[in-house]
Each structure stands twice: as C-alpha cells, then as structure tokens.
Amino acid sequence: MSSTRPIRALLRGLEVLHVLNKHNGATVSEVASTIDLPRTTTYRILETLCVAGYAYRAASDERYRLTIMVRGLSDGFDDEAWVTQIARPYMYELCRELVWPVAIATLSGSSMILIAANQDTVFGRLANAMGKPELAKDPRYATHSARGEHQAELDDLVADWTRTIDADALESMMEEHGIPSGKIYRAPEMLEDAQFKAREAIIKTMHPKFGELRMQNVAPKLSATPGGVHSPAPDLGQHTDEIFGELLGFDADRLAALRAGGII
C-alpha cells in the first residue's frame, strides 16, 4: 500500500456524499452524527458541495440533497467492470492454491479474455506478443512459481497492455503466438456464437407469463439420445392439483382442506 498520506478533507467530502446518497436528504446534524464530525466542519463540507453543484439545501426542510450532477461522477465507469472486480480476488485465491498463474484481461468496452500463459515457454511467447521479451527473463516472472508469487502485479501488466487492443484482434494474436485464451462470454455473446447456434445450446420456449423465453438446452447433447426441453420451469404449485388429485386420488374437499390449513 502507498505511503502517501491521504487528503483528509477529500475523504470527509466523500463520506458526506455517501451519506447523502444513502438517504433522501439529511440535515447538518444528521450527517455530522453519522460520520462523527463536528457540526461546523460538516456544514462547510455540505456548503462546498452546494457551491460545486453536487448538492443543494431545500428551503422547505433545511435538508441537503444531491443534484443530478452526481451522476456525472460515474460516467467513466464501465458498467461491466464489476464482473472482473468480483471475479479477480476469487481467481487469485484459487490460483495461489493451485500455483497456476492466470490473467483475466479486461479490454476496452465490456469484453474480457482469459489468457492462460502458465508454462514457462508459453509465458515467453506471451512476453514476445506484448513486445516485452525481457519479462520472460525477469526473476519475478521467469518461472511458474515466481509468476504465482507475483500474480497480481503480472496480471496488472497484462491488463494494461490488453486494454489497448480490440478483443477480436487480441484473440487472433494469442492464436498466432500459440497462447491458450478464450473470451469470457456474457449472454449477448452466447446468443450470437456460431458454435452455440450449431449445437442449439440455447433454445426458445414459451412461458405463460413472459412469452418467448430463451434458456439453456439439455447438456451434454448426445447424438443417439439428444434429449430436449419440453417446457420452462413451472410456477410454484402449478401442478399441485394434478399430483394430489390425479396421482394421489385426493378429492376436491380434501384439497380444499389442505389449502385452508396452509399445507399446500
């Protein structure tokens, strides 16, 4: 962690923004008590946010509320980035257990590619593809175990490079250099993938509430017994009368009594 001392005033301002974002307006006293700041300091921060256009004080109740300008603070955030943020620590932990360095490359837009340059010779090819052949001789990355120990910084190096390359171009580059890789699919990519279509991996079925619904087909799909999906998952209790009445022989009065007792 950096030894640079944080700007305390900035941290306090962010805390105030967080409080206002969490509540539908708050008074100076409410904000001050929430983040444990003197009332005068809190007042100055709130008024500063008002001057900057990120907050305003309502004349009707003296409560501070955020303005539409706050939305602009997240304009540069990639909505799909949270997938990588969530997956990365779990991947790191798993790879530490297996001593298996793996890079999750976040590209421009929402595309992601998994690069598995695990073996020393494969990593050398990745270093060449990156235009940094010296990485393969760097003691931190020269061996399989060393890369595992420095995985976080190595993944950052790879990610910084891949962000400058289009996903399709990167995938072609990895194939040219003999480096195992593959796109991490989201639903849109699954629906457009030629192999998914050829194997009918995703099918269409009619749902009583949602109409045409896409869902996963039977897997694995075998040539002699491919199987199939006849209907979507039933609603809760959809087949209760059929099972209790037709299969178990319960009459209408008994079914009514079970429903009245909250049993079915």
Q: What is the pTM of this model?
A: 0.51
Q: Give the pLDDT confidence of 184-238 residue by residue, as tens digits.
A: 888 888 899 999 999 899 999 988 888 888 999 998 888 899 888 888 888 888 8
What is the domain partition of the chain in residue ranges? 8-74, 84-184, 197-233, 236-264
Task: Identify which of 135, 95, 102 has the alpha carbon closest to the alpha carbon of residue 119.
Answer: 102
Specify the fold of 8-74.
Arc Repressor Mutant, subunit A (1.10.10)
113 band by pLDDT with thresholds 50, 70 and 90: confident
Number of helical H runs and strand E runs in the chain? 12, 7
CATH class of 84-184: alpha beta
The conformational region for residue 236 under phi > 0 = left, psi -120 to 50 = alpha, else beta, is beta
- What pLDDT is attached to residue 44? 94
What share of the chain has pLDDT > 70, as a percent? 87
Cα–Cα distance for residue pair 43/38, rounded to 1 Å: 9
Confidence of residue 92 (pLDDT cuts 50, 70, 90): low
Helix, coil or strand: residue 237: coil
Task: Find the mean pLDDT for residues 140-152.
Answer: 87
